[in-house]
Amino acid sequence: MILFLLLLGLFLLPNPSQALTPSEKAFLSAKKEMEKLARSSRVKYRRYWIRVINRFRKVYLWYPESPEAPKALIWTARLYRNLYGYSQRRKDLEDALRRYRMLWEHYPKHPLADDALYEASEIYLKYLNRPEEAQKLRALILKRYPHGDMAAKLSPPSLRAPPKEVLKPLPGKVWVKGVRHWSGEDYSRVVVDLSGKVQYRDHILKAHQGRPPRVYVDLRPARLSPYLKPEVSIQDGLLSRVRLGQYKNDTVRVVLDLKSLTSYRTFYLGSPPRLVIDLIGEEKPRSPLKPPAQGRYSLAQQLGLKIRRIVIDPGHGGKDPGALGLYGLKEKHLTLKVSRYLAQELQKTLGCEVLLTRDRDTFIPLIKRPAIANLKRADLFVSIHVNASPNRRTRGIETYYLNFTTDPEAMRVAAMENAVSNQSLSELQSILKKILRNTKIEESRRLAQAVQKALVKRLSRRWRGVKDLGVKKAPFLVLVGTRMPAILVEISFITNPTEARRLRDERYLREIARGIAEGLKAYVNQMKVAS
């Protein structure tokens, strides 16, 4: 109890004179419930602890991009840790560790990240008798946060790491820190990494007097990092190099020297701040399909459609576990399993080439996933995800395509799936204005409808109470910039007890894959009729 009250004293209250955001209101409500519990005789009863924990849990599930989300996570972990003092249940410590891990993995730059690592190490050391795990976490603190307050606890001043040389912020200026790119024959994506938000203006110079076309973008107010090379050689189908220079005192110019170009688009993304430039060339004709052995043709070949290659995107991965659910389930593991099964089904039923954006537990940035589909010249893009909700009774299947939305639930799901980039929905909405002109919205909607219908029908044959949540639209970052019909499938709720039990069953995962495959096949047939 004393420890519990001491932890309460660490709270930093928001200024009551300011208008509170929904996330602040939810956080304050959870805090009041916790204070009330600490002062009452109910502290002996587990159900009241769980009620407070669920209050904090709603904060980080509903508002994953808010400043209150990491604070809610650490208090959920601390409550589970303190509940262990009454319950002596090992599972409470495991639940605490899970929430600590979510904090340092999802919010690695937050001031509480090193606190989460330190407090988790204390659990391994004091309660679980696993000093080797504690040592790993403390080594991670010294590596990632050598100048933080937790590192100061772990090492004397003489052993602390010297401060790194960093780019000092200039008043009103933003640093251009680096350039990344993904390139192919008829598509290139260039990402300019920044230290803050900038204004930009893009221009195109057509080929003139033997000089190739160029696209250039002026960023202001911005300064070029002294550690950045002024030229990046690329030499792909569209792009020969990227040049950077300090055009004016407050303006950095980024020049893309092109080999050819059909169109391009630029958009800004925040958290972390970066400018994205997509270059789009004329798609080259593909080689005709070769008849398979014994003169047998696949369905796609019989229909004469250009569904030769499908890219499947298993959501999350690596340091991004995605939603964490009941029974220790992690979204990243389930999406990979379903994606592998789906690839097998598609190869059998459509006979097309199937590629995965990841085939193991590795992290791939959201912005890279649609670029992979574009570079591979995919005909369809399917992103697989598992849903989550602060309300455990919420269940069902839903399929999304990229578009604007005013549906609060669709916006919540988009915020949750976009959380790894910390991209705000308002920014995504503005990005869509520019991108949707080139996005195959109608085809994506039809694809989503076909998959949703087939998946619900397939699962309903063997399991009761499969709920059809329908086809919805939302600004998912993983779908932004795709050049082909693209959808995102939320296959079940990892937080619903019934669906979580089913997600543990390999038969259920295989049936999900078969249902999605049947939907893709139905879409191909629809396109045959339409043509």
At residue 345 the predicted structure's pLDDT band, cuts being 50, 70 and 90, is: very high
pLDDT score at 385: 97
Q: Which long-range contacts (CB under 8 A, 24 or more apart) does 2-8 make?
A: 3/82, 3/85, 4/38, 4/43, 4/82, 5/38, 7/78, 7/82, 8/34, 8/35, 8/38
pLDDT score at 475: 81
Q: Calculate mean pLDDT across residues 392-419.
A: 81
Q: Calculate mean pLDDT across residues 430-457.
A: 81
Q: Calculate mean pLDDT across residues 460-469.
A: 96
- Identify the structural domains of the chain with CATH numbers, from first to last: 19-158 (1.25.40.10), 174-280 (2.60.40.3500), 297-530 (3.40.630.40)
Q: Calculate mean pLDDT across residues 1-21.
A: 49
Query: Above 80 in pLDDT, residue 463?
Result: yes
Residues whose CB is less than 8 angstroms from the CB of residue 300 and which lie 6 or more positions away in sequence, other chains included: 307, 308, 350, 351, 352, 524
pLDDT score at 170: 61
Query: Above 50 in pLDDT, residue 498?
Result: yes
Q: Is this model's pTM higher than 0.75 or not?
A: no
Partners of residue 180 on adjacent β-strands: 191
Give residue for tokens 């900038």: 198
Q: Calculate mean pLDDT across residues 288-297.
A: 49
pLDDT score at 152: 82
The answer to whether the bond into 292 is cis (omega within 30° of 0) is no
CA-CA distance, 278 to 265, in Å (whole number)? Answer: 5
Nearest to residue 242, comparing CAs of 211, 266, 279, 216? 216
Partners of residue 218 on adjacent β-strands: 201, 253
Give residue for tokens 């076909």: 450
pLDDT score at 14: 44
| Phi, psi dihedrals of residue 59, rounded to the nearest 5° | -60, -50
**Residues 204-246: tens digit of each pLDDT:** 998 877 788 899 999 999 999 888 888 988 888 889 999 999 9
CA-CA distance, 400 to 169, in Å (whole number)? Answer: 40
Query: Above 80 in pLDDT, residue 98?
Result: yes
Nearest to residue 238, comparing CAs of 297, 295, 282, 292? 282
Dihedral over Cα of 70, 73, 75, 81: its sign: negative
pLDDT score at 433: 60
SS (H, E, C) 64-97: CCCCHHHHHHHHHHHHHHHHHHHHCCHHHHHHHH
